[in-house]
Structure 1
Amino acid sequence: MRVLISGVTSDLGRAFARAVLGAGHDVLGVGAEAHRDLPPDVAFTAGDAATAESLVAGTDVVVHMSPVEREVPESGGIPALRRLATAAARHGIRFVVPIAHGPDAADADKVVRDSGTRHVVVRAAPLGGRLLDWHACRTVATLLTVPRDTQWRLLHHDDLVRFLVHAITSDRVGVVTLSAPDVLLAGAARDSLKGVSARGIPAWPAMSTSDRKGSARDWGFECGWTSAEVVADLARGARGRKLTKDGAEPDAARLPIPAHVPPRRRQPADGTTLTSVALPSMAVEMDDRIDPRYPVFAAQQTAELFPGPLTPLSIDVHTAGLRTAGRTLGRVLGLPTSVADEWTGRGHAVFGHHLYTGVSALAAAPPPGWTERTVTDQLIGPRADADLFPLERPARRGIVARAAAWVRFAGMARRYRTFVRDYAAAAAKEQVADVAALSDGALVVRALLLRDRLAEGWTLTQLGQFVAYFAGAPLRKRAKADIAALGRGVDVEHEPVYPAIVGLADLLRADDDLRALAEWGDLEAVRQKSPEFGAAFDELVARIGHRGPCETELAGTPFGQRPELVFAAALSASRRPAPTPPPAPTPPTPSPSPSPDLVEPETGDAAADPETEKSEEDQPESTPDTPVRAKRTLLEKLAIAGRRQRDTAVDATVRYTNELRGIVREWGGRQVHAGRLVDVDDAFYLTLDELLNPPADALRRIERRRADRERLRRVRVPAVVSGSWRPEAAVDPVPEGKQLHGVGVSPGVVEGLVRVLTDDKADVEAGEVAVVRVADAGRAALFGPAAAIVTDLGGPLSRAAVVARELGIPCVTGARDASARLAPGTLVRVDGTTGDVLVLAPAPMTVHN
C-alpha cells in the first residue's frame, strides 16, 4: 500500500510514518522541510499543500497530519485540509484526518464531509504523553488551569498512531471519536503534574465526557492507555524539559526520557554517501553502512554488554538507545555538526550481527579527560596503530568550545548519581507483574515505553563510562605498575551477581549434609531440608532474575527463567574454601570530602578504604588466597563510585530489557495464535515496529534473517573493523612450549585443562581454565569452579577480571584469539600477573568442547 502523509515532519507525523513503514507499507511524505529524525525510507518531498496535492494520484490512502489549528507548528490551516480532501475525492482515494479537540474542529469536520471524499475523520480527545508536542503541552496547560472538579477524557499519542494504522488498512469510513475509556478529574491530574509549569500556553476548550456513538470500540479498537496513565506519562516526559506553546524543549542540564529515537541508517547531514563494509558473501540485511571519513570501529567496549550474534529485535531496540545516547551526549559536549551527526547515526554500528563502537567518531571529538590516544587504547588496545581518518582529519574545536564542553560535562557528572538513582527507582517501580493479563493495546504501548526507557538507560550508561574514565586516571596508573592496586573485585566494581551467589554458597558450606544433598542436583530436596536455603534462594532469584548469560539479548534466558543455573553456580562456589575476608580498614586520615553526587556511603566489603600514611611494610601481604583491600586516594574513590553508579544504570537497563523480553514473548504467542507467526521465537527476528504491526511478508523476513544469523554463528568476526571487514581466518592451535600474551588483571599462577566456553555453553568443571571471547555479568558469575580465566577481549575492570579477583584466581584479559587458538583439553599455565598463557601439552584428539 502507498500512503501519502502530509505534515510528515511533525512530531506526530514522524511517529506515524515509522509505524506505517513497520507495517510494510510504502510512505510518501510532504513537509515544510526535511527533518533529521524522519525515517530514511520515507520518500520525502519538501513543499506545501499544493505539493501534497500533486502527489495524491497513484496513492492508496492520504493521511493529513498537518494540524488545522492556526499558529501551531506545521499548521496548514483549513485551506490545506480542503485542498487535499478535494484532491482525494477527485481521484477516488480514501482520506484520513485526525482532528484535535479545539476551536477549529467543527469547521474542519464540515470541510471534509462537504468534499465528497471517502473519509475517516478521527475526533481526538486532548492528546498527551511523553512526546510532549504542542498538543500535549496544551493539554498540560488545560489540566493545570481548569477547575479541579472538571472531568476530562484524554488520548495518548501512541493510541492515536495505532488507530491511524488500523484505519488505513480498513475499508470502513465515517467519523470516529477516539479517547481513553476512563474519565479523569482535573484535580487528580494536577496532583500528578505537581512541579510542571505551563505558563503562556493556551488551553483547550471544555469537552463532553459522555460515551458517544461512533467510538473506536465500534471499529474493534481498544486504547492501551487510560486517561490517568496519560497524565502519568505527561509527568514522566516533563521531567528535564521546559514546556512551550510549540512543544517541549530539553533542559541542557538534565537527561529526560527520550521523546524521539533517531532512525537507523540516516544519511550524513552534508550528503556524504554511506558505504557497505562487508564482503558481498558476508553482507546481511541488519548490517550498517559507514561514512568513509570515520571508518574504524571496535568491539572491545561493546562485546561484554552485547555478546553476539544478536537477533534483529535486539539490534533494533538497543542500537536505537545507543543512537539516542550519542545524540544526547553530543549535545552536552557541544560537538560540531558533522561529528555530532556521526555520534548519533554511527557512534555504534552493527556488522555481522555484532555491535561495534565508532572509534573514529569518538576520537574526532574526545570527551573531557580523553585524548585520541586514550580512545584507541581503550577501544582497540594499547599501542594500537589505526588510521582513524584516512580521508581528512576533522577540524579541532576551539579553546572556548572545549572549555564550554568541560563545564557542561562537569555539571552532568555532578548530577550523575541523582540521574541514576531516579532511573533505577523507576525501573523497580514500573515493573508489570503479569504481562499475560494485559490487553493487546496495553502490551503494544508498554513495549513502546520500554524502548524509550532503554534509550534513557543506555544514555546514562554511556555518560557513566565517560565519568568513570575521566576520574579513573590515577587508578589506571597504579594498576599498570602493580595489578594488586586493583584490590578485591567488589572494591572496584559493583558486581551485582557473583556476591549474591556467594551468599548461597556460604549456606551450603555451613551444612555438610545439605551440601551433600545438593550434589545430587535436586533443588526441591534441598529446599525441603533447609527452608532457610529455600527462602534465600527465592529471594536471590527475585533480585537477580533479570540477569544472566547474554542478558541484553532479548531472545536469551535469564536466571529467572533458568534458576537451575543459580543453584549450580552456588553449588560450584561452595566447593571452594570460603574466601578470606579483607583485613579491617585502617581508620581514615582526615581529608577533603568527596563530591556527594559521586561517592556513595562506604560500608562493608563494597567500600573503598581511605588512603592512610602507613608504609608499604605495614600493609598485609596480598596473595591470591588472602586478597587485601587496596588503599584509595580521593580521585580513585571517585572513579570507583562512578563505575558503581554506571553499573547501577546497567542493572536497571537490563531489568527493563527483561520486562520487554517477557512482553515480546507474550505478544509473539498471541501472534502465533492469530496465525501471523509460526513460532514464538519468530518475534525476535522482526524489528519492534514490524512486530507490533506484522507486515504481509513477515514470515519471509523472519526466514531470511534467521538464516543470516545462523550463518554468522559459524563466523568469527574481527575485533576491529577498519573500512571493511571479513571473517577472521582459521588459526592453528598454539603449539607446545609457545604462549599467548594478554593483560594480567588478577595475580597468581596455575595449571589446568582448557575449557572453551561458546555462546551456548557456560559451564566449567573444577580446576579447568575457562577460556571465553568475552564474559558479561551473568556468565562471569558462573566461573566459580574455574582455576583461572582467559578472555579474548576486556581489561582490568571487565566482569571476568572483577570476579577473578574476588575468587582469588589468576585472570588474563585481552588475549585476542585465545578462544580460537586454545583447543579444549589443552594443558596450560596461566600467569595472572604477567598476562602469559603457556601451552604445556596439546589437547588429545578425542577431546571435544
Structure 2
Amino acid sequence: MSGWVLQANDSGDPAVSGGKAAALSALSRAGFDVPPFVVILPEGLSARGLKPDVRKSLESALAELGPGPFAVRSSGRDEDGSSHSHAGQFLSLLEIAAPDVPAAALKVWRSGSTESLRAYRASRGLDPAGGAPAIIVQRLVRARAAGVAFSADPVAGRRDRFVISAIAGLGDRLVGGEADGDDYVLDASGHTVLQGPEAGVLTATDLAALGGLIARVAAVRGSAQDLEWAFEEDQLFLLQARPITTGLREPTLPDPMVTIFDNSNIVESYPGLVSPLTYSFAQYAYARVYRRFVALLGVAPGRISESAPVFDNMLGRVDGRVYYNLVNWYRALALLPGFSLNRAHMETMMGVSEPLPAVISASIGPPPARGFAKVAEFARMGRAGFGLAFEAMRLKRTIRGFYARLNGALRVRPDAIAAMPLSALATEYRTIEAGLLDRWDAPLINDFLCMIAFGASRKLLERWCGPEGIEIHNAVMIGQGDIVSAEPARRIAAMGALAAGKPKLIEALQRGDLVASKGDPALAREIDAYLAKFSDRCTEELKLESITLDQDPAPLLAAIAAAALTPRAAHVRGEDGAAALDRVLKEFPVRRRIAHLVMGWARDRVRDRENLRFERTRIFGHARRVLVAMGRQLAALDAIEAPRDVFLLTVPELLGAIEGFGTTADLKGLVATRKAEMARAAERPDPPERITVTGAAGLSSAVAAASAATPAGAPETIRKGTGCSAGLVRARARVIRDPRRDALVQGEILVARHTDPGWIAVFSNASAIVVERGSLLSHSAIVAREMGIPCVVGLKGALDWIVDGEMISVEGASGEVRKTDG
C-alpha cells in the first residue's frame, strides 16, 4: 500500500491525517464502533486526481473495506479541533460506489480551496490558505436512524444535559439543515429522558444506548463532545466526535447533598398546584409551629436556634406542588428525646409511604445511645414525659386559652378588613402571625396526644380482643356527635328536607341562584346560618387562592338540591362499639374498665383534633380576607394588574412592599414571571409522590422527572387498603377529581385521590368512600366514622384501578375493595 493511503489505526496524528481522522482513529482504538475507514493524505492528490500508485493502493484498501457504498469526507489538519470545528466548510459525499471513489475524493480535496473556507479561516484568525484536507473513505452505514448529539447543551451552555437530534435514514439532510429531526433532551447521566416526542424516530432502547455512548465518548475525550451517530438495525455506530467549540458554562463541582421530597401526607391539605402566596404562608406556619412543638417536648432553646435552617425548610415546592422536605423532617425528629433509642418508632411519626434510605438516615442525629449516653437519654425522655403529662392534665385550659386568643384575633369583621388601608392590613397580618401562628400550643399538644391515644387504644383492643378489636375500635370512634366536621353534612341533609317536593326551589338551587333559593324563609335562615359558620370551609380550603362559599355559594346550593332530590338513606350501623366492648371483655372486668377509659380519652382527643382543625380553617379564612384586601388595594394603586394577582406574590414580598423592606418595587414583573411558571406547571402531570434530588434541590432537572412506570400486571379484582369505618356496600363507583366540577349521585361510592374538609357536601351523598391517600386519622376517615359511612383509605393506585361507573363493593372494616360484575 502506498504511503499516501493509511489504515485507521495508523491515522492517529492530526498533523498528518487531519483532525477528524485522528479522532476517529483514537475512538476506534478505544473500543467504540466506528465504521472501518482509510485515509488518503492530501499529498496523494493533485489537481488532475489521484496519483497512479495512490489509486492502486486505494483499490486494494477498498477491497478490504467491503463492496461499498462509501462515505467520502474531509479531514483538515485544523478540522474538528478544540477551537475550530470547520463544520460545513468541506464537502462530504455519501452513497459512493467503489469505482467512483477517486473522483469523489478529488471533489472533497478541491473543497479545501473555496472562497467560503478562506473567509471562515480568516474570521477565526487562521491562515486563509490552510492547505488541502486529507480524505476519509469509510464504509457507509445503512442507517434506519441517524443524527447528531451533544454531551452539553451548546445553545444554553448547560453541562447537565445531553441534546440529541435524530432523523429516519441517513443523517446528511439533518446535518445539512435540509430537514428537521426529532429533538430529545436527556439528563447528564444519560438515563432519564427530560424532553422528547411521544412517538419519535428513536425508541427508549435507542435513547438508552445513545445516552451511554455520549457519556463514554465525553469521558474518553475529556471534554464536551459533538457527535454524529447512526443505527444500522440495532447496532449503534459512532461516525464522528469533536469538541463543542461554543462557549459552555463552567463545570459544576460535585455536590453530594441529597434532598428527598415526599407528599404522601401533605397532599390532602395542599393538593395540586399551590400559589406562591399560599406556599409562603404555609412555610412560615410550619416553621413556627414545629419550633414550638419540639420546645414542648423538652428540646433546649439553643438547639432549636441552631436548627433554624431545618425548621425554615420543612416544605418544598416542586413544579408548583407542595412537598415535605423529608430529610429536614427527620432532622427535626432527631432533636427529640429518645431518638437515639428508637429511630424506627420515630420514623412512623412522619406517616410517609416509605422510610428514608438507610444511608441517609444513618447520617442524621446521634448514633444509638450506649452506656452513660443511654442513661442520659432516658433521663431526657423522663423529663419530656413528665412535661407531656403536665400538658395533658391542663389540656382543657390550654384549649380554652387558644379559643380565647383565636376569637379575639378574629373579632375584626370582614367589612372592617375591606375598609383598611395597606398599613393597617399589614398590622392585622402581623397580629395573625404573633397571636396565633407563634402560639399554636393547643393543636400541637392535642395532635401529639391524639396520635399516642389513637395508636395505643387500637393496639390495646387488638391485643385483648383479637381481630374483632379493630372493628370495635372503629365502632367506638363513630357517633360522637360533637365533631364539627360532620355538622355540614347534617345541615345539608336538613336543608334538603326543607327543599324537598318544591321543584322551583330545587331548580334555583341547581342553577346556583342564591337570591331565588332564599325565597323560602325557612331555607333562607338555614343557608345564612350555614354561611355564617362555614363560609371558609370550601374545597382545598387551606389554599388561600381557593374560592370560598361566601364568594361563590353554588357548591353548597348544589349539595342542598341533591339532598332534596334523593333524601339520604340512614346508614345501618353495626353493634354499638361500647356494647361490643362490654360483650367481648365480659369475663375481664378490669380490662373492660381500662379499655373504656383509654377509648374514651382517645375519642376526646380525636374530637378535639378535628374541631381544632376547623379553627385552623377559620384562621386561614381570616388571613385570606386580609391578603385579598391587600390585593385590591395594590391593584387600585396599579402595583399589580388585578386583585387576584396577589396570590402570585409571596408573603414577604407583600409585606416588603408595604413596610419598606422589599428588594423590588416591580410587583407586576414578579407576577408575570410566576404566572408563566404556573401556566407551564399546569400543563405537566403531577410529579411522583417521592422525588430524590442530588445537589441544589430547587434547580435540579431531576425535580421534574417522572417516576419510572410500573409494568402492568395481571388484572386485579380485589385490592386492600386501610379499613376505617365498618360496613359493606355494593354500588356504582364515581371517580371525583374536583368536587366543584364532578357530581356524585346519591348512593354512589365516592372514589378520590385525596379529600379535604371542603368535600363534606360530596360525602353527604356517598354510600361509601374510597380514598387513594390517607390514614386512620385523615379527615376522610374521621368524618366517615362520624357519619357512619363505610370508608377505606390508603388504597394505592385507586384512581388508576377503579373505572368510573363500574360496580364495586367496599368492606369498610377489613379495607377490602372488590370489583363486581354487573
Q: TM-score, normalised to structure 2's length?
A: 0.56
Distance 1:449 1:566 in 2: 31
Q: Residue 558 of structure 1 corresponds to which residue in structure 2?
A: 548
Indicate whether 1:439 and 2:407 are aligned.
no
Aligned-partner residue type, residue 449 of structure 1: T
Query: CA 1:371–1:815 in structure 2 vs 1: closer, same or farther (change >3 Å)?
Result: farther
How many angstroms does 1:813 deviate by? Answer: 0.8
Q: Residue 499 of structure 1 corresponds to which residue in structure 2?
A: 487
CA contact 1:741–1:836 (8 Å) conserved in 2: yes
Aligned-partner residue type, residue 718 of structure 1: P
2:733 to 729, 734, 753: 753
How many angstroms does 1:493 deviate by? Answer: 9.0
Q: Residue 638 of structure 1 corresponds to which residue in structure 2?
A: 601
Q: Residue 271 of structure 2 corresponds to which residue in structure 1?
A: 307
Distance 2:497 2:481 in 1: 26
Distance 2:504 2:585 in 1: 44
Q: Equivalent residues in 2 for 1:435-474 (5 A)?
A: 435-456=417-438, 460-474=442-456
Query: CA 1:545–1:511 in structure 2 vs 1: closer, same or farther (change >3 Å)?
Result: closer
Distance 1:393 1:463 in 2: 25
How many angstroms does 1:764 deviate by? Answer: 2.1
Q: Residue 430 of structure 1 corresponds to which residue in structure 2?
A: 409
How many angstroms does 1:673 deviate by? Answer: 1.6
CA displacement, residues 375-400 of structure 1 (integer Å, 9 cap, x when unaligned): 44453468867437355242157222
2:283 to 319, 328, 337: 319
Q: Equivalent residues in 2 for 1:809-828 (5 A)?
A: 809-828=789-808
How many angstroms does 1:554 deviate by? Answer: 0.7
Distance 2:739 2:575 in 1: 40
CA displacement, residues 589-614 of structure 1 (integer Å, 9 cap, x when unaligned): xxxxxxxxxxxxxxxxxxx9699745
CA contact 1:744–1:811 (8 Å) conserved in 2: yes
SS of the residue corresponding to residue 789 of structure 1 reads strand
Indicate whether 1:373 and 2:344 are aligned.
yes
CA contact 1:774–1:793 (8 Å) conserved in 2: yes
Query: CA 1:390–1:578 in structure 2 vs 1: closer, same or farther (change >3 Å)?
Result: closer
Q: Residue 372 of structure 2 corresponds to which residue in structure 1?
A: none
1:572 to 549, 556, 562: 562
Distance 1:528 1:734 in 2: 56
Distance 1:471 1:411 in 2: 16
Indicate whether 1:356 and 2:328 are aligned.
no
CA contact 2:729–2:767 (8 Å) conserved in 1: no
SS of the residue corresponding to residue 633 of structure 1 reads helix
How many residue pairs match? The answer is 522
How many angstroms does 1:536 deviate by? Answer: 1.9
Query: CA 1:823–1:691 in structure 2 vs 1: closer, same or farther (change >3 Å)?
Result: farther
Query: CA 1:631–1:392 in structure 2 vs 1: closer, same or farther (change >3 Å)?
Result: closer
How many angstroms does 1:825 deviate by? Answer: 3.7
Aligned-partner residue type, residue 579 of structure 1: A
Indicate whether 1:702 and 2:640 are aligned.
no
Indicate whether 1:534 and 2:524 are aligned.
yes
Aligned-partner residue type, residue 403 of structure 1: G
Indicate whether 1:389 and 2:360 are aligned.
yes
Unpaired segments of 5 or more residues in structure 1?
A: 1-278, 283-290, 586-607, 619-629, 843-849
Distance 1:300 1:771 in 2: 17
Indicate whether 1:662 and 2:625 are aligned.
yes
Distance 1:510 1:578 in 2: 16
SS of the residue corresponding to residue 355 of structure 1 reads strand
Distance 1:610 1:771 in 2: 32
Query: CA 1:579–1:384 in structure 2 vs 1: closer, same or farther (change >3 Å)?
Result: farther
SS of the residue corresponding to residue 560 of structure 2 reads helix
How many angstroms does 1:371 deviate by? Answer: 5.2
Q: Residue 344 of structure 1 corresponds to which residue in structure 2?
A: 311
Q: Percent same amino acid at aligned positions?
A: 21
Q: Equivalent residues in 2 for 1:397-436 (5 A)?
A: 398-431=377-410, 432-433=412-413, 434=415, 435-436=417-418
Q: Residue 813 of structure 2 corresponds to which residue in structure 1?
A: 833
How many angstroms does 1:363 deviate by? Answer: 4.6
Farther-moved stretch of structure 1 (513-522 vs 701-710): 513-522
Query: CA 1:356–1:380 in structure 2 vs 1: closer, same or farther (change >3 Å)?
Result: same
CA displacement, residues 414-461 of structure 1 (integer Å, 9 cap, x when unaligned): 333323322223333333211122233211211222233452365543
CA displacement, residues 184-223 of structure 1 (integer Å, 9 cap, x when unaligned): xxxxxxxxxxxxxxxxxxxxxxxxxxxxxxxxxxxxxxxx
Distance 1:680 1:743 in 2: 43
CA contact 1:331–1:340 (8 Å) conserved in 2: no
Query: CA 1:760–1:362 in structure 2 vs 1: closer, same or farther (change >3 Å)?
Result: farther
2:536 to 546, 568, 578: 546
Aligned-partner residue type, residue 554 of structure 2: E
How many angstroms does 1:539 deviate by? Answer: 0.9
Unpaired segments of 5 or more residues in structure 2?
A: 1-191, 196-254, 370-375, 588-592, 658-663, 695-702
SS of the residue corresponding to residue 501 of structure 2 reads helix
Distance 2:257 2:605 in 1: 33
Distance 1:297 1:366 in 2: 22
Aligned-partner residue type, residue 648 of structure 2: Y
